[in-house]
Amino acid sequence: MEKHDGATRKVGYLCDTLFFWHDTGTGGDEPSDPRKGLQPVNRHYSAPEPKKRLHELIQVSRLRDQIVDLRARPATDEEILRAHSAEHLKNMELQSQLPKGGDCGDGGSPFGHNAIDIARLSAGGAIVAMESVLSGDTDCAYALINPPGHHAERDRSLGFCLFNNASIAVAHAKEKWGLERVAIVDWDVHHGNGSQDIWWTDPSVLTISIHQDRNFPVDSGFVDERGGGEGLGHNFNIPLPPGSGNIVYEHVVENLVRPALEQFQPELILVSCGYDAAMQDPLGRMMVTTSGFKRMTALMIETASKVCDGRLVFVQEGGYCQYYVPFCGLATMEELVGADSGFSDGYAAIVEGQIRTEITAEQQAAIQSAQDAYFSSDESGGKVG
């Protein structure tokens, strides 16, 4: 386990079998319905298999003996209520008590009976991973949790998310550890609308979302959404056109995300880490491969080392291809640990030949639009950071 500077890096890893017991029912974007011709399927988009297979791949890899095991614990009401309203918590509790469970809020995000117990464990797991870094027990950490969280807003949930795990961890870091500046970098293929909503008016948290333009939610994630009130200029959206693969994502992290973080100077960086921007994902069209995730992780490690003493926490979000997600996550873990897992990308022969090697004019225009919106002075004369 070697850092880039030659020092030993202790990497915390958190997972729990209950994360793979999260029941999302059957169907696709909507529940099965014979009146609509929607047949039941045996695997919902958000079923936990991709994350389960990632965990199992890590367990049989060479990384198994080079990571520090962390144990999740449930988030308390107090911890959840730092990021969510009491009405939202009560709604999730009531729906979870229904005999067949409830829905996150959009009609296509079911969860089973007593699912709130696993959602609490997921949120608490994010806190545990974060605290292991702040305490110095680990240098960085990866929380392989489920259900995900970045779509959960202060007053409502949607998009497979009950509670905003990353934001609950950030709120805990501010309240209990006294941190004054924290950044959330979200590279899930979908817009991190929940994190944006929760921290919209708070200048102490910088939220950055790299996502496929108008994927989900279709009405959010635009470059002119920059925060409000005292938080103006502390929300950075980078919507990209479909087909933006490794070259675009790596360029964005290096030339937009890293300068924004260097300017903001956070004391801690959380990465909302989704793998649905990867090749083969059924809910995204962004074509990132394992090498892309590995390079983005390396850039985040370098940036964290520069701005916040390396304090970096990865919190699992989406990723719905049970074949490719495990290899993408393993590549991220390899870079965090600084060691070879013993496994190469089992799908490299299929996906590598589809990678674009140049940024197109459309992609460059999208990058420039996001860059201009964030780094340019606003009408009030304030500049980001």
Cis preceding linkage at 259, omega within 30: no
Core vs surface per residue 178-200: b (16+ CB within 10 A) or e: ebebbbbbbbbbbbbbbbbbbbb
- Specify the 3-state DSSP secondary structure of 285: coil
8 A C-beta contact, residue 287 and residue 279: yes
Which residue out of 22, 44, 150, 151 is catalytically annotated? 151
Cis preceding linkage at 147, omega within 30: yes
Identify any residues that bridge with 268 across adjacent strands, giving them in sequence order. 182
Q: What is the C-alpha to C-alpha distance for residues 133 and 128, in angstroms, rounded to an integer? A: 9
Identify any residues that bridge with 272 across adjacent strands, giving them in sequence order. 186, 315
CA 118 from chain center: how many Å? 18
8 A C-beta contact, residue 316 and residue 145: yes
234 catalytic residue (yes or no): no
Q: What is the C-alpha to C-alpha distance for residues 311 and 225, in angstroms, rounded to an integer? A: 27
Which amino acid would we find at residue 100? K
Residue 337 is encoded by which pair of tokens?
A: 């640990």
Identify any residues that bridge with 212 across adjacent strands, giving them in sequence order. 240
Q: What is the C-alpha to C-alpha distance for residues 113 and 117, in angstroms, rounded to an integer? A: 9
Give the neighbor-by-neighbor strand order of the sheet with 11-14: 68-70, 11-14, 140-143, 312-316, 268-273, 182-186, 205-212, 235-240
Active site residue ranges:
151
